[in-house]
A and B are shown apart, each in its own frame.
Chain A
Amino acid sequence: MTAPSEIVLRGLGISSGIGWGPAVHSPWRGRMIFRRRLAPQEIESEVARFHRAVGIAREQLRVLRQRMEHALGKEHAYILDAHVLMLEDAGILGEIETLIRTSAVNAEWAVKLVTDRILAIYAEIKDDDLRERGSDIEDVANRLLRVLSGDRSTCALPEGAVLVSETLPPSLLGELDPQRIAGLILGTGGWTSHVAILARGLGIPAVSGLRGALAQIEDHALVLVDGTRGLVLVHPSPDTLQRYERQRQERERHWIRWQARAPLPTTTRDGVPITIRANIERLSELDEMRRCGARGIGLLRTEFLFLQAAPELPSEEMQLEAYRQAAEVAGREGVAIRTVDWDENQMAALGTLHALRDQQTELGSSEPWLPERNPALGLRAIRFSLRAPEVLTTQLRAIVRAAAFGNLRIVLPMITSLEEVEQVRRLLQITCRELRAEGIAVPDRLPVGVMIETPAAVWLADELAAAVDFLSLGTNDLIQYILAVDRDNDRVAQLYDPLHPAVLRALRHVVQAAERAGRPLEVCGEMAAHPLHALTLLGLGARILSMRPRAIPLIKDFVRACELTRVREVVGKALAASHRAEVRELLLRSLQELRLELPDEALLNGSASPIGEVS
């Protein structure tokens, strides 16, 4: 018998790392339900089988709920609360039981008929939020059907499996346990999708954008997920596996060394101190941030608060508590809190848009809401905040109050004009005045900065720098807007190139504007977390880099090995280059001269065009 030959599938790496195991297609996929007529003497045992299945499914949900609460926070787990209640609903259960008895059909068929009927009613509901609950019912029905089919495991997946799925339904998110899941292969879903964020947070390697190619992965076939390069290998050969195993060992060795050195200060070989800060997406990351020796928080994303509070908006007290915690952990180096940055589509998905409807904002009109066709260019980030000033005011009040507990600063996302900055400043003034009038202490100084992440902000960098206390380079969005590439669109994502000559020149312009105005510049995009890109940023003159905590030990070690004068020279040459390939070659060559001991994959980035190809 010959072994099946290795197949290489290319996708978009959305969570780096390498994992392999048997492929398991989403357990919810294409289940066929058959009708079986029962003999009269079979009916009682069928009803009993159904109730046993309900009991097992309920217990599974309880376990998953705990895990989800642990991984995502209490506020997310309520999705599963509704699921549990559906399995306790005497109305639904009674209807299914009656159907089994009166029509003498198998439990599977009865479950299907009843859920189909409920789904049809849901489809008629006018209210968007309520209608969406229909997918929960489908989820619950699928779970029941799986238990009825004889599968008793709490997790739908065998240990060590690679999950293959077009997308991931909410109840499966709870099953993303890094102890059990070796990797994730998705048909669609980009870098910023919920699954991608979760997978990165949990350290599960993931590749997306495989679409039609999913069909080439048969159930239980051995697959290898290389999230760093954005590759999926089906039936990897023994040689391939060995190579990857060596890489894994090497990575582990490096990681141990990097982590041990993480608390040490970060100074280049020629003695220039570089400040490394953390980007924080959830409060649970604060622990890790402390361990990896970050000097403060360069970017506190606040979207998680809106996620947790959804479908309500996060209250002032809830925000205050979160900012206070971050301030206390960050200590003297402080926290840059970014006002909420998301678009209308994301809010609608959470139901938060409804919360705005009563608030007599322009957003809250009674007209039916239509999804934005182009959310990246739509009502998002600061535009949204200025359109819903109550939301912004609540956030500002919470930040000002939390400033009593530490060193805080405010950073405004997606700025395209000075007017936007001035508007926020006025609102901030009013907020401070009101707080003082209420007898609440207001700090004398609360620095305000802007994210430079649009081409408009690049060209206004001098004026913006003069108008604010610091600049923050958001490279992810900036690159997307300069190159007109949607990183979430897996068909063009390979055009997203942080080392594109146009990007380098824009970055240089911003760094120089900050220098001219004497304002600190922090870089807090994904670029800062990637060795080759970080090197480029240093060469351009950046001195403060902020990144996800997991990347900090590697980058710190890397920076210590760099000789800045040399790096500046190389980057100077790269700035004169007109082709992407030229830039890349120049930088890679200089990297070789540095003779750094880096694992290959530290240079790759699943979302960028690969620098080296796998042989």
Chain B
Amino acid sequence: MQRRTVQVTNRLGLHARAAAKLVQVANRFQSAITLARSDTGQTADAKSILGVLLLAASAGTHLDVTTSGEDEMEAIEAICRLIESKFGEEEGRPGS
């Protein structure tokens, strides 16, 4: 089992489009992947769009990512990278 904590840093948090991306990535792996809010402990299956959306994780939320299965290393790597890269959303922020 792999476990890591990441912070949601994109401005909109786990908004619909980000959530859709996350679920699409999670579904590429065999491993079971769960997300848990560090503050409330609320958990969600990363392969369920509904679960991910209902986490309502806004910017700044810390998430504990857990993966377990044959490809757990690759899975945790991919999920954390996606969240840390702000879901590839934020290139070219206005005014920057």
Question: Which A residues are closer than 8 A to B by beta carbons?
Answer: 78, 81-82, 85-86, 88-92, 118, 121-122, 125-127, 129-130, 133, 136-137, 311-313, 315-318, 351, 354-355, 357-359, 389-391, 393-394
Q: Which of B13, B17, B48, B54 contacts A90 (CB 8 A)?
A: B48
Assuming the contacts A82-B20, A354-B11, asked whether A393 and B95 have C-beta atoms less than 8 A apart, the reply is yes
Q: Is the beta-carbon distance between A312 and B47 smaller than 8 angstroms? A: no
Contact A357 B11 (CB under 8 A): yes
Given A89-B48, A91-B48, verify A130-B94 contact (CB < 8 Å). no
Compute how far the CA of A122 lies from the CA of B47 in the bound complex, rounded to whole angstroms: 19
B37 at the interface (CB under 8 A from A): no
Contact A89 B11 (CB under 8 A): no
Residues of B near A129 (CB, < 8 A) are 12, 15-16
Complex CA–CA separation, A129 to B53 (angstroms): 11
Distance, CA A133 to CA B49, complexed state (A): 11
State A138–B61 Cα separation when bound (angstroms): 28
- Is A313 in contact with B94, judged by CB distance below 8 angstroms? yes
Given B13, B56, B92, which contacts A318 in the complex, CB threshold below 8 Å? B92
Select one of B11, B12, B50, B89 contacting A86, CB under 8 A: B50
- Name the A residues within 8 Å of B59 (CB-CB): 358
Report the separation of the CA atoms of residues A133 and B17 in the bound assembly, to the nearest whole angstrom: 11
| A86–B49 touching, CB < 8 Å | yes
Q: How large is the interface on B (under 10, 10 to 19, 20 to 34, 35 or more residues)?
A: 20 to 34
In the bound complex, do residue B91 and residue A355 qualify as a contact, i.e. CB atoms below 8 Å apart? no
B35 within 8 A of A: no
Tell me which residues across on chain B come within 8 A of A127, comparing CB atoms: 13, 56, 58
Cβ of B28 < 8 Å from any Cβ of A? no
Q: How far is the CA of A82 from the CA of B22 in the complex (A)?
A: 11
A383 to chain B: closest CB distance in Å? 17
Is residue B90 contacting chain A, with contact meaning CB distance below 8 A? yes
A315 touches B11 (CB 8 A): no
- The residue that B50 contacts in the complex, of A89, A316, A355, with Cβ under 8 A, is A89
Q: Assess whether B23 is interfacial by the CB under 8 Å rule.
A: yes
Within 8 Å CB of B53, what residues of A? 130, 133
A391 touching B24, Cβ below 8 Å: no
Instruction: Identify which of B11, B15, B92, B95 contacts A130 (C-beta below 8 A).
Output: B15
* B64 on interface, CB distance cutoff 8 Å: no
The answer on a CB contact under 8 Å between B92 and A315 is yes
Q: B95 — which chain A residues lie within 8 A by C-beta?
A: 359, 389-391, 393-394
Query: A89-B49, A89-B51, A137-B50 provided; 6 other pairs, C-beta below 8 A?
Result: A85-B49, A91-B48, A92-B48, A130-B53, A315-B91, A391-B94
Q: Can you offer 19 A-B residue contacts whose CB atoms are under 8 A?
A: A78-B20, A85-B23, A85-B24, A86-B49, A86-B50, A89-B50, A90-B47, A91-B48, A91-B50, A130-B15, A312-B89, A312-B90, A313-B93, A315-B91, A316-B92, A354-B12, A358-B59, A359-B95, A393-B95
Contacts of A137 in B (CB 8 A): 50
Q: Cβ of B56: which chain A residues have Cβ within 8 Å of it?
A: 125-127, 130
* Chain A contacts for B94, CB-based, 8 A: 313, 315-316, 359, 390-391, 393-394
Residues from chain B with a CB closer than 8 A to the CB of A85 are 20, 23-24, 49
